[in-house]
Chains A and B, each alone.
Chain A
Amino acid sequence: MKTYSDYEHWKSTPLESDPYLSIVIPAYNEANRIVPTIGAIAAHLSGKGYTWELIIADDGSKDETVQLVSSLGLVNMRVLKAPKNGGKGSAVRRGVLAARGKYILFDDADNSTPIEEIDRLLPKLEAEGFHMAVGSRAADGAQEGNKSLKRKILSYGLRFIVKHFFRIGVKDTQCGFKLYTREAAQKLHTAQTVMGFSFDLEILYLASKFGMQVAEVPVNWVDAPGSKVDPAKEARRFIKDLLRIRLNDLRGAYHNKRAAELRVAVVGTHPPSQNTLTEYGYHFIRHLRAKPDVSEVILICDELPAGESYQFPRENGLAPVTVVPAWKFGAWNNALHIWKAIRQQKPDVVLFNIQFASFASSKLIAALGLAAPALSRAAGYPTITLLHNIMETVNLKQAGFAGNPLMETLTRAAGKFFTRLLLRSDEVAVTIPKYVEILQKEYKTDKVVLAPHGAFNQTPEPVFDPNPAVLRLMTFGKFGTYKKVEDLVEAFQKLQPRYSQPMELVIAGTDSPNTPGYLAGVQQQYAQVNNLRFTGYVPEEAVAGLFTDSTVVIFPYTSTTGSSGVLHQAGEYGKAVVLPRLGDLAELVTEEGYSGEFFEPGNIDSLVNAISTLLDNPPYREEMGMRNYLAAQGLPMADVVDWYLVNFYYLLAQREQEQQPKTQMPLTVAPAATSRTSTRITV
């Protein structure tokens, strides 16, 4: 009975997130056979305990197939209707590329391989890490029933050719029962060019070419009545398609970068390194790995202390990460080592995730590291530098140059020089619109692009607690340079006596690498303050709890900073925030839809007032938290990563164009359509 209730639920309740399994059935004039197949699938999968969807990829059926399946009223079944017949391969391709499941099964409409066989294929991907598992009528243990003599001859003949001329290990290439990880499916079917009967062969050829692991699993198989294969005719087409696949490969048709072949090098930091921008680096790489067209991420990062290591377990659906610890915080020759690592790894494109002090605390040594993007581009690699701060907005007086005009002038001149050096990248990306305009104006360049910060995670809608047991104030970051906590501790001391509820001030994070020992000094200075907690390094898995347990998130900054990762995180968890009245943050609030309560930097009473405004007014706190949540949800980092990829493809295309002979005329394609239909929608 559980199976039936599961079926009823599946039939009528839309999935809330991407399913575990997608089943794609290509269908051409299948009105007579498809309903029992759907029934068999639903009967077997209901009660399995995982989520699944069904996709019927019509291939321009002239019978009632589409109307029939549409009338079944299954909410988790999608029918992709094709206006004309394009071949079974085209239907499978559309279905597979539209599928959202972690695993995707392509299954013939005639149910010739019973759906129960999926239970043999799934463990190959799930437990053994294969990219693909194909049902096989030729593997040891397979049973073939009802197979006609004509079909047997065709099968053996084709197997011989495939094995000896194509070196494809799979014995049965044509079985219509293939399971892929989503990443593999998208990669393979994006590169697919054969839309006819032999598309399976091309997919297996590509799997071998792309270095994927394919398991061949024996399955039961029945030559279903009404099967549409004419053996002799199909054998001729098969040979023709074989030659076409070989020719395609020789012509380089499968080298298209959009076909999941992009190797991206990211130069920057990543946890457990304690240098700056690790949090950004962690999330950026996480999202980059999930992009179907990225085949490998090469992390060119800083060396870790003995005993620590970077961990990137292999996961289905994520591109592998090659870790190259090539530079050291504070070393003078970082640019050279990074350049060497890039030349050794030969990525397709390079992204630098840096700020001015990424490579050292000493200004001169840090600046030497900034030559790395210019070297990368000079070595021929399309290079984008994501620059988190710019010299033009740094308040040098607050940075210690007050009263020394000569030093200030020299620092500004050096800043300009190194900014020009960074502009030797193909593009410099900054996170705030104002930065784009400043750099464009100051350096008369068109190389600067806006690439917003984006929210690290898509989080569920926050639950607001108007009366928390503890009023918890929290600040998070790397402290000591422009993030200083003394005023915040002073403000906390003034606030504690005002409230009857228990309070806590949480200072989460570590010293900035430029100011070692800063937090230990503060801790000593305020040792007598009650309810003051220093967390030290916050591992990634503890970040969510840190934010959700906070009542208000505070930004005790004294200088401009660029787009704030912590503000985006506060947004993700729906938190009200207290911000300094500084140019960048106010700009960010306006541009990205965040809101906060502002205080004057350096004025403790102003900070006290801003915090108590939020503590005293729970509805206001809730409204601000919700606004920040919506702002964060509006621009996920996964989308921002797409922007970088779009820019990289543009740079790659530009290079390709530059390499073409100049005499060649641009290729124009005449419109093929004589009519088109369009649907108008007003949002």
Chain B
Amino acid sequence: MDIQVSEQVIRIHVIKMNGRLDAFSVKALRSKLDELTRQGGIHFVLDLADVSFMDSAGLAAMVSLLRQVQPLGGTVKLVRATEANANRVLTLTKMDRAFPIFDNSAAALAVV
């Protein structure tokens, strides 16, 4: 009998944000994402659960990340915001069909 065991490790960055994610605060998120992708990170979970408001600029940082990592075989998953204000821009732009969206980060991490 042959027994084959393989262990694979996938590095996933879970980024949790809170408060407003808008044109004025997005710079911090962009520079953090930039730093992580420069280090070779390609799998991300962006946890919006505690984000109270998100505008187009906030969403743009996420779409930009998606476009950057997808060709490298990377993934960007979102955790749904509890505030409707933060989800509105996702629905209006239909970007909710570009990202897999989960209720919490544990659920996002459970799916490869």
Chain A interfacial positions (CB closer than 8 Å to B):
78, 80-81, 83-84, 94, 97-98, 186, 190, 258, 292-293, 427, 433, 436-437, 449-452, 454, 591-593, 630-631, 633-636, 639-640, 642-643, 645-647, 650, 671-683
Closest 6 CB pairs of A and B: A634-B23, A634-B57, A639-B60, A450-B92, A593-B23, A671-B112
Q: Give the complex CA separation of A677 and B15 in angstroms.
A: 14
Cβ-neighbour of B39 out of A80, A186, A190, A633 (below 8 A): A80
Within 8 A of A (CB), among B62-112: 63-64, 66-67, 70-72, 88-89, 92-95, 97-98, 109, 111-112
Q: Is the CB of B14 within 8 A of A679?
A: yes
Select the residue from A450, A630, A634, A680 with max chain B CB neighbours within 10 A.
A634
Bound Cα distance from A634 to B36, whole angstroms: 20
Which residues of B are found within 8 Å of A81, using beta-carbon distances? Answer: 40
Instruction: Check A436–B92 contact: CB distance below 8 A.
Output: yes
Which residues of B have CB within 8 Å of A78?
A: 38-39
CB of A461 to closest CB in B, whole Å: 12
Q: Within the complex, which residue of B13, B18, B63 is in contact with A639, where a contact is CB–CB below 8 Å? A: B63
Q: Which partner residue on chain A sits nearest B16 by CB separation?
A: A682
* Given A452-B56, A634-B27, A676-B109: 9 more A-B contacts, CB < 8 Å: A433-B92, A631-B23, A633-B23, A634-B22, A636-B60, A642-B64, A674-B6, A678-B13, A679-B11
- Given contact pairs A94-B40, A639-B63, A650-B98, A676 touches B57 in the complex (Cβ within 8 A): no
- The answer to whether A676 and B12 touch across the interface, beta carbons within 8 angstroms, is yes
A231 to B90, CA, bound (A): 55
Of B14, B23, B37, the contact of A678 (CB 8 Å cutoff): B14
Count how many chain B residues have C-beta atoms less than 8 Å from C-beta atoms of the other chain: 50
Provided the pairs A591-B56, A645-B67 are in contact, do residues A672 and B16 lie with their beta carbons within 8 angstroms? no
B1 within 8 A of A: no
Would A449 and B11 count as touching, CB distance under 8 A? no
Task: State A515–B15 Cα separation when bound (angstroms).
Answer: 53
B97–A650 touching, CB < 8 Å: yes
A258 touches B8 (CB 8 A): no
Q: Say yes or no: A647 contacts B94, CB within 8 Å.
A: yes
Per the 8 Å Cβ criterion, residues 29-66 of B in contact with A are: 29, 32, 36-40, 45, 55-57, 60-61, 63-64, 66
A681 and B14 contacting across the interface, CB-CB below 8 Å: yes
What is the interface of chain B, defined by CB distance below 8 A to chain A? 6-18, 22-24, 26-29, 32, 36-40, 45, 55-57, 60-61, 63-64, 66-67, 70-72, 88-89, 92-95, 97-98, 109, 111-112
What are 16 contact pairs spanning A and B, CB under 8 A? Answer: A98-B40, A186-B71, A436-B92, A450-B56, A591-B56, A592-B55, A635-B56, A636-B60, A639-B61, A645-B67, A646-B95, A673-B10, A677-B10, A679-B13, A680-B16, A683-B32
Nearest chain-B residue to A186 (Cβ)?
B71
The answer to whether A683 and B29 have CB atoms under 8 Å apart is yes
Which of B15, B23, B67, B93 is within 8 Å of A449, CB to CB?
B93
- Provide the residues of chain A in CB contact with B98, threshold 8 Å: 646, 650
A672 engages B28 (CB within 8 Å) = no
* Min distance, Cβ A576 to any Cβ of chain B, angstroms: 17
Least distance between A96 CB and chain B CB atoms (Å): 10
Chain B: minimal CB distance from A459 (Å): 15
Please determine whether B28 and A683 come into contact, CB atoms closer than 8 angstroms.
Answer: yes
- Closest-by-CB residue of A relative to B12 is A678
Residues of A within 8 A of B56 (CB): 450, 452, 591-592, 635
Residue ID in chain B nearest A427 by CB atoms: B94
Query: How many Å from the CB of A625 to the closest CB on chain B?
Result: 15
| CA A83 to CA B57, docked complex, whole Å | 34
Contacts A94-B72, A640-B60, A683-B29 given; indicate if A591 touches B55 (C-beta within 8 A).
Answer: yes
Question: Is A593 a contact partner of B8 (Cβ separation < 8 A)?
Answer: no
- Measured CB to CB, the nearest residue on chain A to B15 is A681
Known contacts: A190-B71, A593-B57, A640-B60. The answer to whether A674 contacts B7 by CB under 8 A is: yes
A328 nearest CB across to chain B (Å): 34
Interface centre among B6, B63, B109 (most CB of A within 10 A): B63
CB contacts (< 8 Å) of A451 on chain B: these are 93
A427 to B36, CA, bound (A): 34
* Chain A residues with CB under 8 A of B109: 676, 678
CB distance from A165 to the nearest CB of B (A): 30
Are A643 and B37 in touch, CB under 8 angstroms?
Answer: no
Q: How far in angstroms is the closest Cβ of chain B from A17? A: 13
Contact, CB under 8 Å: A677 / B24: no
Chain B residues with CB below 8 A from A436, complex form: 92
- List residues of chain B with CB within 8 A of the CB of A98: 37-38, 40
A593 touches B60 (CB 8 A): no
A569 → chain B closest CB, angstroms: 16
User: B residues within 8 A CB of A97?
Assistant: 71-72
Q: Which residues of B contact A681 (CB under 8 A)?
A: 13-16, 32, 36
B57, A258: Cβ atoms closer than 8 Å: no
* B34: min CB distance to chain A, Å: 10
CB-CB under 8 A from B26, the residues of chain A are 634
Complex contacts, B18 vs chain A, CB 8 Å = 682
CA distance A433 to B55 in the complex (A): 10
Q: Which residues of B contact A679 (CB under 8 A)?
A: 11-14
Q: How far is the CA of A81 from the CA of B40 in the complex (A)?
A: 8
Partner among B9, B22, B72, B89 whose Cβ is within 8 Å of the Cβ of A675:
B9
- Knowing A592-B57, A675-B9, say if A646 contacts B16 (CB, 8 Å): no
**Closest residue to A679 on the B side, CB-wise?**
B13
Docked-complex contact A646 and B40, CB < 8 angstroms: no
Q: Tell me if B22 and A673 are in contact (CB < 8 A).
A: no
Q: How far is the CA of A454 from the CA of B61 in the complex (A)?
A: 13
* CB-defined contacts of A449 to chain B, threshold 8 Å: 92-94
Kindly report which residue of chain A lies nearest to residue B92, judged by CB atoms: A450
A351 to chain B, nearest CB (A): 16
A386 to B61: give the CA distance in the assembly, Å: 21
**How far apart are the CA atoms of A643 and B65 in the complex, in Å?**
12
Interchain CB contact under 8 A, A258 and B93? no
Residue of B with least CB distance to A256: B71
Query: Once the chains are docked, how many angstroms separate the CA of A97 from the CA of B40?
Result: 10
In the complex, how many angstroms separate the beta carbon of B86 from the nearest chain A beta carbon?
A: 14
Q: Is the CB of A642 within 8 A of B63?
A: yes
Which residues does chain B contribute within 8 Å of A258, judged by CB atoms? Answer: 70-71
CA–CA, A640 to B17, complex, Å?
A: 22
Asked whether B63 lies within 8 Å of A675 as measured between CB atoms, the reply is no
Residue of B nearest to A93 (CB): B72
B14 with A672: CB separation less than 8 A: no
Please tell me if the beta carbons of A646 and B63 are within 8 angstroms of each other in the complex.
Answer: yes
Chain B contacts for A454, CB-based, 8 A: 60
Q: A98-B37, A646-B67, A677-B9 are in contact. Are A635 and B57 (CB under 8 A)?
A: yes
Choice from A83, A452, A593 contacting B9 with Cβ under 8 Å: A83
Q: A residues within 8 A CB of B37?
A: 98
B16–A683 touching, CB < 8 Å: yes
